[in-house]
Structure formats: C-alpha cells, structure tokens
Structure 1
Amino acid sequence: MRKTLKYLVVYEKSADGFGAYVPDLPGCTSAGKSRDEIESNIIEAITLHLEIMQDEGLPIPQPNSDSQMVVIT
C-alpha cells in the first residue's frame, strides 16, 4: 500500500483551455478544455506517472513544492 502524498499542481489558462503541471514530478503534465476536465486529467496523469515510476523501480519524489499568492499594490 502506497502512503498518501500531496503534490502541488499548477493550473494555467491558455487560449485553448487549461494546462496543468506538477513541479515535483518533472514531465507530469496534462491539458483540457475546462477547469473541471483538467482537474480530472491531472489526477489521472499523476497516478499513471507514479505507477510507471514504481514499475521501473525509480524512487518516488517526495512533495517539496509550495505556493503562495502575492499581492502587489
């Protein structure tokens, strides 16, 4: 049983919809036409990414990224 991990996901709006990536999992990205779609897609992408890493015997990166909103006046 895998322990619970909590990864930061960055969502970006684009001209075509949305993109998402996980800073702690290089190469783990996804895209979708709506925010709801991309939220579902990135969870699937993270799950698959971790399964592939595990199958290949690679170490699973620990979540290290954090975020903060900064207000500029």
Structure 2
Amino acid sequence: MRYKVQLHKTEEGYAVWCPSLPGCWSQGETEDEALENIKDAIQVYLDTVDELAKDSEFRYVEVG
C-alpha cells in the first residue's frame, strides 16, 4: 500500500510525517533514512490501530 508523506529539512536532518495518519511521524539524518524510518512508523501505527480495534464492530461505506 502507498502512503503520501511529507518531508521537511531541519537542522538535525529530516522530519517526515504521514498526513493521512494523524500523529504518525519520524525523522532521519538523511532523506533516505527518514523515508525508511517512516515506513516502520506507518507499520507500527497500523498494527496499533488494528490491536486497539480488534473487539470493535465495523461497517464499510463506498465513497466516490
């Protein structure tokens, strides 16, 4: 699955976050390191959401 991320150069390297996953961010000394780190952060984020919602009932809707 593909996620849009934003990169921002900082004094320490690069900050990176995924706008579609609130609170999902990471960083790295280089752009490549930041992009690798956000992959891990996204996976941990999604695993945590799944774990927290495992006993919940869901419905699906189609948009567009």
User: TM-score per shorter chain, which class?
Assistant: 0.7 to 0.9
- C-alpha displacement of 1:6: 2.1
Of 15, 25, 36, which residue of structure 1 is paired with 2:21? Answer: 25
Greater RCO (Cα-Cα under 8 Å, separation 6 or more):
1
Give unmatched runs, 5+ long, in structure 2: 59-64
Normalised to the residue count of structure 1, the TM-score between the two structures is 0.70
Count of aligned pairs: 55
Q: RMSD of the TM alignment (CA)?
A: 1.6
Distance, in Å, in 2 between the alignment partners of 1:52 and 1:34 is 27
Identical positions, percent: 33
Aligned pairs (5 A) from 1:47-66: 47-57=43-53
CA distance in 2, matches of 1:36, 1:24: 21
- Gaps of at least 5 residues in structure 1 are 60-73
Amino acid of the structure 1 residue aligned with 2:29: K
In the TM superposition, structure 1's runs of 4+ consecutive aligned residues that sit over 4 Å from their partners are none
Normalising by structure 2, report the TM-score: 0.79
**Which structure shows the bigger proportion of residues in helix conformation?**
2
One-letter code aligned to 1:39: L
Alignment deviations for residues 17-72 of structure 1 (CA, whole Å, 9 cap, x no partner): 0000111100000011111110110000000000000000078xxxxxxxxxxxxx
Q: Which residue matches 1:43?
A: 39
